[in-house]
Amino acid sequence: MRVLLIAPPGAGKGTQGALIAAHFALPRIATGDLLRDHVARRTELGRAVQQHLDSGDLVPDEIVVDMVLEAIVAAKAAGGGYVLDGIPRNMDQARATYLISRGLGMIPNVALHLQADDSEVTRRLLARAALERRSDDTEEVIRRRLVVYHEVTHPIVAWYAERGIVVSVDAMRPAEQVGREILDALETLRPVVDQVPGEARRPVDLTGLGVAFGAAPTDSGTSG
Ligand code: ADP
């Protein structure tokens, strides 16, 4: 199975991506982690991207696209599945990722969209800032990351929806609950995901399910 995650910062991409990777024994390709690792090791690439990370802006597309090419080649050799966390983050990256993955016979078959509103993700990121030291978890930089998300990242959800591979999840709830719902959905999709022809695929929206089953509405309609 080949899953990519689209979510605002703080919605749980890292947590849920790691859960999916562990559950299905897939390699997790997390561009943010790869970039921070370069910064920590003070590589040439790390020095080139540090300012972008610190300001909450995207690093240049070529850098992450090269990274993802290398990682998808490795994922192919390792068995053919992956969890992509952090790319694509704009339309050009979505197209580049598509071309790379198509060339390798590794097109993603699920685009998992985690929905959470700005106030909730800001609260989570500031809580994390008290525990970890990520240079971009300050109020000002979080605001910038959210602007970038809404302007250039969120629009790619519609592009994947047209391809019928979007699964939307309400990520406002506790991580365990969100994780359970994601794993259930992916377990259900897994046997069919490679069999369904492109034109027959339909997006799956799980965000209304909790409400349908009597859970309190979470008011996550404004963003995600
Ligand atoms: P978050 O989603 O919480 O912002 P990430 O670890 O995914 O966390 O990303 C952190 C930062 O790394 C981003 O703000 C950006 O500067 C950089 N980054 C990660 N992935 C990409 C990408 N695909 N394109 C450009 N920049 C990226």
| Model confidence pLDDT, tens digit, residues 135-172 | 899 999 999 999 999 999 999 999 999 988 999 999 99
Q: What is the pLDDT of residue 201?
A: 65
Angle at CA 224, nearest 5°, toward 194 and 185?
Answer: 30
The neighbouring-strand residues paired with 170 are: 115
Distance 199 CA to ligand 1 centre (A): 31
Closest residue CA from atom 27 of ligand 1? 58
Q: Determine whether the shortest distance from the Cβ of 32 to ligand 1 is under 6 A.
A: yes
Q: What is the pLDDT of residue 216?
A: 47
Q: What is the pLDDT of residue 133?
A: 82
Closest residue CA from atom 5 of ligand 1? 32
Place of tokens 């592009």: 159
Angle at CA 149, nearest 5°, toward 210 and 157?
Answer: 55
Give the position, in ligand 1's atom list, of the atom nearest the Cα of 33.
6
Q: Determine whether the shortest distance from the Cβ of 93 to ligand 1 is under 6 A.
A: yes
Asked if 73 and 101 count as a contact pair (C-beta separation under 8 A), the reply is no
Tell whether the model's pLDDT for residue 219 goes beyond 80: no
Least confident range from 11-25, 40-54, 126-140: namely 126-140
Q: Determine whether the shortest distance from the Cβ of 87 to ligand 1 is under 6 A.
A: yes
Q: What is the pLDDT of residue 29?
A: 97
Q: Determine whether the shortest distance from the Cβ of 81 to ligand 1 is under 6 A.
A: no
Q: Of the residues 136, 138, 143, 146, which should be mutated to test ligand 1's pocket, given the most ligand atoms within 8 Å of the CB?
A: 136
Three-state DSSP at 82 gives strand
The domains of the chain, with CATH numbers, are 2-34+81-214 (3.40.50.300)
